[in-house]
């Protein structure tokens, strides 16, 4: 369990500024959802946290330690990342991909021993991917690959997990399967979880807290009830009057009505 | 724990078949080296060859029952040639496998980032110089070829660098562009090279006809050290197949890995081509053939490429010097002529996805 903090982080690709003084934190053992419209900077946050790109200014702290000062291999022992639908090298088997998660615990010249094989296998059992172990990655479906990536991050045994749109392109059955899995693993292993999610209803259902991002800034932060409000959704997404309370658990949920978007104008309005 | 046994059993079985592959190929390489030493324009009986070869090993005392000429042919002409062909084949094959793995591009070969054109330009300049020079057991042509190879790859590397990182696409494009530039200079020089044109063109197509022990002794340390370094990084190279971003998130220092492997692969390629010319085809096709047969795990792909590359080049050199004896065919002609049909056959039969 570690604490993740972003303090005044600014970042841009070329001239396009993506993150503007981004500040928020994820407390130890918490599951936090990053929500916001397309292009608001969710993936960039994941990439700066995992040190793929470094911020122009500001600090990223893991348990108070600046990530810039953590060697790459040590960082991978603290922080595991589930990327968004990546291309996997098709010639490897599912088991070999999960085994790659053990890399942070091995020296470059060391090969996986029985301990690594056992940990990788257990990670596959917990994600119910062990029946796929000997299949080539090219034969797997999108949902199976997503589960496999979660198995890999489990084999990595990090203290915190970052997920980039873990439910994108999955059907609703698979979506709750994946998120139930993450939530359980997070509880059992005391993992800190930060997930970029575009589905507001899933974010509301599964996350302890939400961070709503708009135009590279934190627009709102707090429990789902505090963040998913009619006003916030209208301000950020431009969709009006669409927040209701879930009939069973009372958490906010978003139901859309046709014709309520702000930005599409009719022919007459343009003329 | 029974399913784990089953899963790791399959995993171990795969390891075992690949280890058998390595052992089998190593044995085959030994046999082919003896056969290639035995075959040539002068007929020498196999007993005599064994006798000569074994008598050179320490602790073995054989009273020579053969002529001094036979011994000279075997020890000073055929053996260095076979060894050099094996070394160059091994070097080009593992360099090709390394570039393909590092760039995750099936079209990558050892000459992609300017080694070949740099070496060729150096060699052509060496041919055209009005004087010659000899020292440390080699002439001016290999020296200039080696220098040219290193200078051109350093330029490509410098051009492709963006800050502290080395984007692969920029590297490949810079290599292709510089290669084209050097290629046109080479063509220009060849046209005005007069009676030296024949020698230049033969050098460019590659040949082992002038192989000597002194060359083997220079190439050997480069190739052995380079191969050992590359083999040490075989497992991280597997993780690079996930792409640079995921490799970093799994704890790989991607830029350092790229630098170490590029330097090692470039040095062994440069050392190899400087002495024997630009032998094409081996570096791109051997790793693919190995991948089609034994899979993409670099821990096996790399050593199997070393062995297969050595066997392939020894055999093709054997054909090059015996098929139309006493005329030598440039080995570059034979590598593609023999290798391409076999590779196309493999590609059709095992239409697995290469990467």
For A8, the 3-state DSSP assignment is strand
Is position A113 within any domain?
no
Residue-wise burial string across B81-109, b where 16 or more C-beta atoms lie within 10 A, e elsewhere: bbbbbbbbbbbbbbbbbbbbbbbbeeebb
Reported ipTM: the value is 0.89
Confidence of residue B256 (pLDDT cuts 50, 70, 90): very high
Quote the CATH superfamily of domain B2-352. ABC transporter involved in vitamin B12 uptake, BtuC (1.10.3470.10)
- A26–chain B nearest CA distance, Å: 19
For A81, the 3-state DSSP assignment is strand
- Residue B62 pLDDT greater than 90, yes or no: no
- Give A-chain residues touching B241 at CB under 8 angstroms: 89, 92
| Domains: count for chain A | 1
Per-residue confidence (pLDDT) for residue B323, from 0 to 100:
86
CA nearest to A156 within chain B: B250
Across chain B, what does the average pLDDT equal? Answer: 87
- B253–chain A nearest CA distance, Å: 6
CA distance B263 to B270: 10
- Residue B214 pLDDT greater than 80, yes or no: yes
Per-residue confidence (pLDDT) for residue B49, from 0 to 100:
82
Pick among B242, B251, B254, B354 to test the A interface (most A CBs inside 10 A): B251
Is position A67 within any domain?
yes
| Paired residues of A160 in beta bridges | A79, A192
pLDDT digits over B14-57, tens only?
A: 788 888 889 999 999 999 999 998 888 778 888 888 888 888 87
CA nearest to A76 within chain B: B251
Per-residue confidence (pLDDT) for residue B352, from 0 to 100:
53
Is position A135 within any domain?
no
The mean pLDDT value for B50-65 works out to 78
Whichever domain contains A243, its CATH number is: 3.40.50.300
- Residue A52 pLDDT greater than 60, yes or no: yes
Per-residue confidence (pLDDT) for residue B97, from 0 to 100:
96
pLDDT digits over A104-150, tens only?
A: 999 888 888 888 999 999 999 988 888 998 888 888 988 889 989 99
Q: How far is CA A208 from CA A31, A168, A224, B169, in A?
A: 5, 20, 7, 42
Per-residue confidence (pLDDT) for residue B177, from 0 to 100:
93
Cβ–Cβ gap A80/B252 under 8 Å:
no
- Residue B341 pLDDT greater than 90, yes or no: no
Other CB atoms within a 10 A radius of the CB of residue B336 amount to: 17
Is position A127 within any domain?
no
- B244–chain A nearest CA distance, Å: 9
pLDDT digits over B124-157, tens only?
A: 998 888 777 776 666 788 889 999 999 999 999 9
CA nearest to A81 within chain B: B249
Tell me if B166 sits within 8 A of B157, measured CB to CB: yes
Residue-wise burial string across B212-250, b where 16 or more C-beta atoms lie within 10 A, e elsewhere: beebbebbeebbeebbebbbebbbbbbbbbbbbbbbbbb
Per-residue confidence (pLDDT) for residue B72, from 0 to 100:
85
pTM: 0.88
A239 class by beta-carbon count within 10 Å (0-12 exposed, 13-18 middle, 19+ buried): middle
Query: What percent of chain B is predicted at pLDDT more than 70?
Result: 95
Confidence of residue A263 (pLDDT cuts 50, 70, 90): low
- A247–chain B nearest CA distance, Å: 40
The mean pLDDT value for A181-198 works out to 90
The mean pLDDT value for A54-79 works out to 92
- Residue B199 pLDDT greater than 80, yes or no: yes
Is position A106 within any domain?
no
The mean pLDDT value for B168-194 works out to 91
CA distance B232 to B251: 17
Q: What single string gives the DSSP state of each residue in A227-268?
A: HS-HHHHHHHH-B-S-EEE-TTT--EEE---TT-BSS---HH
Query: What percent of chain A is predicted at pLDDT more than 70?
Result: 97
- Give B-chain residues touching A118 at CB under 8 angstroms: 4
- Residue B85 pLDDT greater than 70, yes or no: yes
**Position with higher pLDDT, B351 vs B242:** B242
Tell me if A139 sits within 8 A of B286, measured CB to CB: no
Per-residue confidence (pLDDT) for residue A142, from 0 to 100:
85
- Give B-chain residues touching A121 at CB under 8 angstroms: 3-4, 7-8
Cβ–Cβ gap B7/A133 under 8 Å:
yes
B interface with A, Cβ–Cβ below 8 Å: 3-4, 7-8, 10-11, 104, 232-233, 235-236, 238-239, 241-243, 245-246, 248-253, 257, 291, 295-297, 299, 352-355
Confidence of residue A262 (pLDDT cuts 50, 70, 90): low
Nearest to A95 among B11, B239, B246 (CB): B11
A interface with B, Cβ–Cβ below 8 Å: 47, 50-52, 72-77, 79-81, 83, 86-92, 95-97, 100-101, 103-104, 106, 108-111, 114, 117-118, 121, 124-125, 130, 133-134, 138, 156
Tell me if A204 sits within 8 A of A177, measured CB to CB: no
Residue spans per domain, chain B: 2-352
B286 class by beta-carbon count within 10 Å (0-12 exposed, 13-18 middle, 19+ buried): buried
B17 contact partners, CB below 8 Å, separation of at least 6: B294
Give me A231's structure tokens. Answer: 């006003």
For A195, the 3-state DSSP assignment is strand
Q: How many CB pairs under 8 A join A and B?
A: 103
Our CA dihedral for A54, A55, A56, A62, rounded to 10 degrees, sits at: -110
CA nearest to A74 within chain B: B251
Per-residue confidence (pLDDT) for residue A38, from 0 to 100:
86
- B8–chain A nearest CA distance, Å: 7
Kindly report the backbone phi and psi dihedral angles of residue B307, in degrees, each rounded to the nearest multiple of 5, phi listed first.
-65, -45
What is the Rg, in whole angstroms, of the alpha carbon atoms belonging to chain B?
Answer: 21
- B204–chain A nearest CA distance, Å: 36
- Give A-chain residues touching B250 at CB under 8 angstroms: 76, 100-101, 103-104, 156
- Give A-chain residues touching B7 at CB under 8 angstroms: 95, 117, 121, 124, 130, 133-134
CA A153 to chain centre: 12
- Give A-chain residues touching B251 at CB under 8 angstroms: 72-77, 103-104
- Give A-chain residues touching B302 at CB under 8 angstroms: none
Tell me if B122 sits within 8 A of B149, measured CB to CB: yes
């Amino acid at each position: 369990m570690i604490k993740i903090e972003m303090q005044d982080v600014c970042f841009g690709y070329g001239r396009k500024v993506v993150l503007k003084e981004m500040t928020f934190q994820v407390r130890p053992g918490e599951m936090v959802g990053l929500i916001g419209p397309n292009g608001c900077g969710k993936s960039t946050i994941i990439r700066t946290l995992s040190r793929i790109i470094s911020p122009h200014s500001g600090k990223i702290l893991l348990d108070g330690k600046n990530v810039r000062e953590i060697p790459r291999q040590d960082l991978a022992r603290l922080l595991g990342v589930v990327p968004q639908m990546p291309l996997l090298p098709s010639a490897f088997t599912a088991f070999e991909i999960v085994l790659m998660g053990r890399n942070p615990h091995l020296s470059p010249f060391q090969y996986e021993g029985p301990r690594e094989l056992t940990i990788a296998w257990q990670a596959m059992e917990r994600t119910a991917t062990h029946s796929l172990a000997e299949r080539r990655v090219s034969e797997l479906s999108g949902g199976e690959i997503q589960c496999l990536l979660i198995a890999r991050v489990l084999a990595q045994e990090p203290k915190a997990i970052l997920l980039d749109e873990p439910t994108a392109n999955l059907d609703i059955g698979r979506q709750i399967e994946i998120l139930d899995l993450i939530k359980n693993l997070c509880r059992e292993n005391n993992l800190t979880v930060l997930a970029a999610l575009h589905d507001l209803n899933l974010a509301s259902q599964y996350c302890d807290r939400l961070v709503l991002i708009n135009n590279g800034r934190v627009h709102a932060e707090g429990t789902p009830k505090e963040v998913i409000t009619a006003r916030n959704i209208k301000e950020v997404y431009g969709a009006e009057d669409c927040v209701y309370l879930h009939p069973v658990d009372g958490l906010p949920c978003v139901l859309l009505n046709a014709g309520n978007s702000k930005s599409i104008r009719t022919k007459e309005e343009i003329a | 724990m029974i399913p784990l046994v089953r899963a790791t059993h399959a995993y171990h079985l795969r390891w075992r078949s690949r280890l058998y592959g390595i052992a089998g190929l190593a044995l085959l390489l030994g046999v082919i080296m003896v056969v290639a030493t035995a075959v040539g324009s002068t007929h020498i009986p196999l007993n005599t060859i064994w006798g000569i070869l074994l008598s050179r090993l320490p602790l073995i005392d054989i009273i020579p029952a053969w002529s001094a000429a036979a011994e000279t042919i075997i020890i000073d002409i055929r053996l260095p040639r076979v060894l050099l062909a094996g070394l160059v084949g091994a070097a080009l094959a593992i360099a090709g496998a390394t570039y393909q793995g590092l760039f995750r591009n099936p079209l990558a070969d050892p000459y992609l980032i300017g080694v070949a054109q740099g070496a060729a330009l150096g060699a052509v300049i060496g041919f055209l110089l009005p004087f010659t020079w000899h020292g440390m057991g080699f002439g001016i042509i290999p020296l200039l070829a080696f220098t040219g190879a290193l200078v051109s790859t350093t330029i490509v590397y410098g051009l492709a660098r963006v800050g502290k990182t080395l984007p692969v696409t920029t590297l490949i494009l810079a290599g292709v562009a510089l290669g084209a530039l050097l290629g046109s200079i080479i063509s220009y020089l060849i046209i005005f090279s007069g009676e030296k044109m024949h020698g230049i063109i033969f050098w460019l197509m590659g040949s082992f006809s002038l192989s000597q022990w002194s060359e083997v002794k220079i190439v050997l340390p480069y190739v052995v050290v380079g191969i050992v370094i590359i083999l040490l990084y075989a497992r991280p190279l597997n993780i690079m197949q996930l792409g640079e971003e995921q490799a970093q998130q799994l704890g790989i220092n991607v830029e350092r890995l790229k630098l170490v492997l590029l330097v090692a692969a470039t040095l062994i390629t440069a050392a190899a081509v400087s002495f024997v010319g630009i032998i094409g085809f081996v570096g791109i096709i051997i790793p693919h053939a190995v991948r089609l047969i034994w899979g993409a795990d670099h821990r096996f792909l790399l050593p199997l490429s070393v062995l297969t590359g050595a066997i392939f080049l020894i055999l093709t050199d054997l054909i090059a010097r015996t098929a139309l004896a006493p005329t030598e065919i440039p080995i570059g002609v034979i590598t593609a002529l023999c290798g391409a049909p076999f590779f196309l056959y493999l590609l059709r039969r095992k239409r697995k996805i290469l990467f």
